[in-house]
Structure 1
Amino acid sequence: MDVEAGTRRKRFGSLVIDIEPLRNAPFRRLWAGTAVTAIGSQLTTVAVPKQVFDLTGSSAWVGLTGAVALVPLLVFGLWGGAIADTVDRRKLLIFGNTGIALVSAMLWVQAALNLGSVWLVLVLLAFNQAFFAINMPTRGAIVARLVAPELLPAATALTSTMNMFGTVFGPMAAGALMPVLGLPTLYLLDSIALVITLYPVWRLPALPPLSGQVRRAGLRDVFDGFRYMATQKVLLASFVVDIIAMVAGMPRALFPEMAERTFGDPHGGGLALGWLFAAIPIGSVVIGLLSGWLGRVRRQGVAVVVAISLWGLGVAGFGLAGSLWLAVAFLVIGGAADMVSAIYRQSILQVAATDEMRGRMSGAFIVVVAGGPRIADVVHGWTGAAVGTRAAATGGGLLVVVLIAVAVAALPAFWRYRAAAVK
């Protein structure tokens, strides 16, 4: 009987998320900072497009937020990754967190004063994305310095799951709190959360370059990153397939209009908006909590391709859904598939890149992961305004499936990619 119980525990342990990296105190502090800001940052993620839609009444304007965010994300994502390879990453992370907190406070002030300027909101969004683009590749490059290589998939799953946890409850909290506390308060809560997270980041150890040489990063460092990426074919392919998934398939610019005009939310915001923003992360959290098995999959290229195809089909189903709960269900399926893809792609990055290039590769990863949806905001926003939100979402999801098949045919090495066997 004891043997049977032990066998069940072993099987259960191999299924649920691996928490072994949390035994590492520095990683635990980094992860704790992520936990604090996970929900707060999502309040702003919901508040910005909602405020833009309230000021303009147009999904095309909501889509423009993606274009505004894209430029600083591209510039500072690549440059920020280069900086992360040449300075103390702990200090750079403190700088990025502080900058985001200050911008969130300014967003609160403009909303509380009811200035009514959509352009001011967009300018502040651009600054927010600039600091975000510096912060995220730095955080990603730190992880591989804190945990052993064999624990990287587990550490990635822990971090991604916490981020997704925030993107589940953050939008739901935003939808519930917005009618009660008002939209400006969402910005304020995000700013407070960011200030709180400075303490665990401050307690991280110093993380200067392994070479010991701290210097300024210039354009040459950025171009060196591109040249290095060109030599890593599987890594380059992982970026390509994710661009396909995010640009063609991410329908979030359509959420404010669909919540109000398709699923019956009141003009001031409601639960449908929160559920739409939370649905994809719900699927991601479920997979994250049950991610123990992911480390045993060796054919990671195949896993990424299958996962992205399922993401596209989930988005297409969302566009065809006739009720809120069916739409949410399809988005949950898509979110689960996207989480599988993200965990494997990030693990591939950490293994393939050397430490002196890891910041730049993380910067490129952030540009793709965060920049792709910004381009999608523009594409889906304008397409939704032209042909309708349902057609835009459905067409985008189906296009993902077609383009991923083309990418596999053009990049067969990625399909054949296998991770090293786990000892």
Structure 2
Amino acid sequence: MTIGELVKRHLVDTRPLGVPEYRRIWLGQAVSQLGVGVTVVAVGQQVWELTHSSFWVGLLGMANLIPLIVFGLWGGAVADAVDRRKLLIVGSFIAWSATLLILVQALLDLRNLFLIFAAVAVNSTGFAITGPTRGAIIPRILEPELVPSANALNSLVYSMGAVAGPMIGAVVMASVGFGGAYAVDALLFTGSLYAALKLPSLPPLGEVTRPGARAVVEGLSFILRSPVLLMSFVVDIIAMMFALPRALFPELTAERFGGSMIALGWMTSAMAIGSVVGALFSGWVGRVSRQGVALVVVIAVWGVAVAAAGFAHDLWLVVVFMAVGGLADVISSVWRQSILQLYAPDEMRGRLQGAFMVVVAGGPRLGDLRAGATATVFGLTGAWVGGGIACAVAVLIVGLSVAGFRNYRAR
């Protein structure tokens, strides 16, 4: 095998982009995720400047988490009962309205902490609706064999936004302040709106269950009866709740790097840099069959990499170790999403995607809260390094203890 053939074999599979509906979704996300990355770094820094407390920065996670749990599970149930295109449009407009609200508070210099938290909660509500809906749409518009490749492409575009967005946000904040940063997000979000508007009608297939508590319980019961699905959720919660150090970035910037916005941008982007590399060279991921064991291994690598970054006092080392963690994390996300999408019948995909989204998006918020709270007790280094080590140990013990997950082979 030549070097060119070897590289091609491992590069990300771009065949899903040949499907117009998916291509528009992907391009819309590519544009809007830049704005999301800008806001992520801006809102954390704004709360830090108002409070000078990592605990309050960590509480942003709770402002995100509560709507994610409530509306994520409900939104997934609705996605199984209505036209998914219409639901995606509604959720997108809710998220966009929150972006406009946080922009207005910055332009008026209201400096109101609770208004910021309210805007974050509304944005999370919109995301809780669009996330599971978009995830349930993908298996409808693509052939099954293209689904893992589509998930790798999704991870790539999210990661690229998470790399460029915070760097753009750091530059914009340093030059024109928070208002300019939020304005970038409000403008770029229109890409996601356009993609939703251009989708064809996607009415429900199969038996329709009326949205409500019963439908949500049916989805959760399906997960609980499936050890592989359940453990894929558990190991992700371990990874994010124990090890994610995001809420500590402003404090680390202030303590070790003189409060430099550029340093904050690099730290916020570091994990996504590794994710971009991992997604670009993800061609091999679909050929791994022992995905249960593989998930445990890559999450343990993530925990060790985070712990190593917490010991580093040079910015470039922090960036390198967090990038290694990001590479491990993106491979994990492709496997977990593909397992879920191909495991579920279409009439339950929305509900299972809702539960998945609650875990994927809610885990980091719990991680933010854990990081901020433990930093007040154990200090910055103790919270950062201890979380990474705890993640690696816990995932090896828990992940390898369940035989069904340990022995799982991809279909």
SS of the residue corresponding to residue 115 of structure 1 reads coil
Equivalences for 1:7-18 in 2 at 5 Å? 7-18=2-13
Equivalences for 1:163-178 in 2 at 5 Å? 163-178=158-173
Deviations 1:142-167 (A, max 9, x none): 11111111111101000111011000
C-alpha distance in 2 between matches for 1:147 and 1:205:
13
Question: For residue 215 of structure 2, what is the aligned residue in structure 1?
Answer: 221
Cα contact 2:207–2:347 (8 A) shared by 1: no
C-alpha distance in 1 between matches for 2:30 and 2:69:
26
Q: CA deviation at 1:290?
A: 0.6
C-alpha distance in 1 between matches for 2:97 and 2:295:
37
Q: CA deviation at 1:201?
A: 1.6
Equivalences for 1:271-310 in 2 at 5 Å? 271-310=262-301
Question: For residue 393 of structure 1, what is the aligned residue in structure 2?
Answer: 384
Say whether 1:48 aligns with 2:43: yes
Q: Which of 17, 20, 24 is 2:19 aligned to?
A: 24
TM-score, L = length of structure 1: 0.95
Question: For residue 246 of structure 1, what is the aligned residue in structure 2?
Answer: 240
Question: For residue 328 of structure 2, what is the aligned residue in structure 1?
Answer: 337
Equivalences for 1:132-281 in 2 at 5 Å? 132-211=127-206, 216-266=210-260, 270-281=261-272
Question: For residue 104 of structure 1, what is the aligned residue in structure 2?
Answer: 99
Say whether 1:88 aligns with 2:83: yes
Cα contact 1:98–1:194 (8 A) shared by 2: no
C-alpha distance in 2 between matches for 1:47 and 1:408:
36
Name the Cα RMSD after superposition: 1.3
Equivalences for 1:305-320 in 2 at 5 Å? 305-320=296-311
SS of the residue corresponding to residue 409 of structure 2 reads coil
Cα contact 1:38–1:170 (8 A) shared by 2: yes
Q: CA deviation at 1:37?
A: 0.6
Question: For residue 347 of structure 2, what is the aligned residue in structure 1?
Answer: 356
Amino acid at match of 2:379: G
Deviations 1:334-381 (A, max 9, x none): 000001111111111111111111111111111111101111111100
TM-score, L = length of structure 2: 0.97
C-alpha distance in 1 between matches for 2:270 and 2:115:
30
C-alpha distance in 2 between matches for 1:96 and 1:194:
12
Q: CA deviation at 1:169?
A: 0.5
SS of the residue corresponding to residue 388 of structure 1 reads helix
SS of the residue corresponding to residue 331 of structure 1 reads helix
Residue 409 to residue 287, structure 1, CA distance change in 2 (3 Å): closer
Amino acid at match of 2:241: V
C-alpha distance in 1 between matches for 2:57 and 2:180:
20
Cα contact 1:319–1:390 (8 A) shared by 2: yes
Cα contact 2:301–2:328 (8 A) shared by 1: yes
Equivalences for 1:69-84 in 2 at 5 Å? 69-84=64-79
Say whether 1:372 aligns with 2:363: yes
Say whether 1:418 aligns with 2:406: no
Amino acid at match of 2:196: V
Structure 1 residues not aligned, in runs of 5+: none
Deviations 1:44-80 (A, max 9, x none): 1111111111111111111111122211111011111
Q: CA deviation at 1:412?
A: 2.1
Identity in percent: 47
Deviations 1:188-218 (A, max 9, x none): 11111112332222111111101385x7511
Structure 2 residues not aligned, in runs of 5+: none
Displaced runs of 4+ in structure 1, greater than 2 A?
7-12
Q: CA deviation at 1:253?
A: 0.3
Deviations 1:236-265 (A, max 9, x none): 110000000000010000001111222222
C-alpha distance in 2 between matches for 1:173 and 1:131:
24
C-alpha distance in 2 between matches for 1:118 and 1:382:
18
SS of the residue corresponding to residue 292 of structure 1 reads coil
